[in-house]
Amino acid sequence: MSAPAPAISVQRVARRFGRVTAVDDVSLEIGEGEFLAVVGASGSGKTTLLRLINRLIAPDSGRIVIHGEDSAASDPVALRRRIGMVFQSGALFPHMSVADNIGITPRLTGQPRQEIAARIDEMMALVQLAPELRARRPHELSGGQRQRVGVARALAAGPRIVLMDEPFGALDPLTRDTLGEDYRALHTRLGLVTVMVTHDIAEALLLADRIAVMHEGRLVAVADPKRMSQNEQPYVRDLLRAPRRQAERLAALLAQGTR
């Protein structure tokens, strides 16, 4: 029995910006229903990898296959409409209402108004946004609300793949935790494929099925959280040291507190 076809297949992809090689010969397969976190220091190429997947930029070499279709052969605009994307700190359109932001992709594909309106209501309920926020402008929302709108916007056209670029980075820890959990539940419920770029290792470990570690444009490790914690590579061990120490100290402190 052959393994099922991956949702996203990244094959020996490279991309340079001037003399800097942002993504260097990266190969990676992401399966149906999988939640993959991509971690690494800033400048490690993780955001470039994300932008390569929905053709916001084209690779210099290598190939990316989405659901069996070579992305170089498909229309990039149509491809992006099929893939949801959540941007760093939201990137909501400031001149549009919450509802207009959420309904933007269905509107681009020319869906009837009523269907879009129904879809907006459904999405707002899905990401737990109160209906009275519909007419608000992004600047009238809290950071957490904004990011929920961002998630709703990414999901509105019913994509099977969602790309997230440090989606919760700018939020306070509590909101961040709640939002992460809420999104993970949505991911499972809708059977999505999620690729989330983050610099927060703890978040990656807690939310993702698998973690990919990037370092200077190269993919240095891909594993599930448990195996990743046993990885002996020096860079990966350094990366995991901070959350591990934090967790141990927290565990000790909290244990004392309960006594």
Partner 1 sequence: MTGLLDPRWSEAVARLPDYLGAHVRVSLAALALGLAVSLPLALITRHRPAARGVLLGIASIAQTVPGLALLALFYPLLLALAALSAKWFGVSFSAFGFLPAVLALALYAMLPVLRNTITGLQGIDPALIEAARGVGMTERQSLALVEWPLALPVIMAGIRTAAVWVIGTATLSTPIGQTSLGNYIFAGLQTQNWVFVLFGCAAAATLALAVDGLLALIEHGLRHHRGRARIALGAMGLAALIVASLAPGLARTSAHYVIGAKTFTEQYVLSQLIAQRLNAAGLSATTREGLGSNVIFEALRDGEIDAYVDYSGTLWANQFRHTDVKPRRALLTALAARLADDGVTLFGELGFANAYALVMPRARASALGIRSIADLAARAPELSIAGDYEFFSRPEWAALRQAYGLRFGKQRQMQPDFMYAAVAAGEVNVIAGYTSDGLIAKYNLVVLDDLKKAIPPYDAVLLLSPRRANDRALREALRPLIGAIDIATMREANLRAADGATGSAADVARWLWDQIAARHK
Of 5, 135, 185, 250, which lies in the binding site for partner 1, with binding defined by CB under 8 A? 135
End-to-end alpha carbon distance in the chain: 53
Q: State the nearest-atom distance from the C-beta of 158 to partner 1, in Å.
A: 13
Nearer to partner 1, 156 or 213 (CB): 156
Alpha-carbon distances, residue 123 vs 6, 79, 236, 251, 252 (angstroms): 27, 21, 38, 37, 41
Q: Is 17 in the site for partner 1 (CB under 8 A)?
A: no
Q: Is 132 in the site for partner 1 (CB under 8 A)?
A: no
Of 14, 104, 190, 223, which lies in the binding site for partner 1, with binding defined by CB under 8 A? 104
Between 66 and 85, how does the x/- string for binding to partner 1 read (CB under 8 A)?
-----------xx-xx---x
Nearer to partner 1, 161 or 222 (CB): 161
Q: State the nearest-atom distance from the C-beta of 198 to partner 1, in Å.
A: 17
Q: Is 108 in the site for partner 1 (CB under 8 A)?
A: yes
Q: Is 131 in the site for partner 1 (CB under 8 A)?
A: no
Q: Is 97 in the site for partner 1 (CB under 8 A)?
A: yes
Burial of 135 (0-12, 13-18, 19+ CB in 10 A): exposed
Q: Is 93 in the site for partner 1 (CB under 8 A)?
A: yes
Torsion-angle region of 256 (φ positive above 0: left; ψ -120 to 50: alpha; else: beta): alpha
Tokens of 104: 């933007």
* Spatial distance between the Cα atoms of 58 and 14, rounded to a whole number of angstroms: 10
Q: State the nearest-atom distance from the C-beta of 100 to partner 1, in Å.
A: 9
Give the count of beta carbons closer than 10 Å to the beta carbon of residue 92: 23
Residue ranges with strand state E in the chain: 8-17, 20-30, 35-39, 61-66, 69-70, 83-86, 161-165, 193-197, 210-215, 218-223
Q: Is 251 in the site for partner 1 (CB under 8 A)?
A: no
What does the CA dihedral 71, 74, 80, 85 come to, rounded to 10 degrees?
A: -10
Which of these ranges, 60-68, 104-112, 182-190, 201-209, lies near partner 1 under the rule CB under 8 A? 104-112
Q: State the nearest-atom distance from the C-beta of 68 to partner 1, in Å.
A: 21
Laid out side by side, the sheet with 20-30 consists of: 20-30, 8-17, 61-66, 69-70
Q: Is 116 in the site for partner 1 (CB under 8 A)?
A: no
Chain centroid, CA 186 distance in Å: 13
Which of these ranges, 35-43, 101-109, 114-122, 195-203, lies near partner 1 under the rule CB under 8 A? 101-109
∠ CA 56-128-209, nearest 5°, is 55
Q: Which residues bind partner 1 (CB under 8 A)?
A: 54, 56, 77-78, 80-81, 85, 87-89, 91-95, 97, 104-105, 108-109, 135, 137, 153, 157
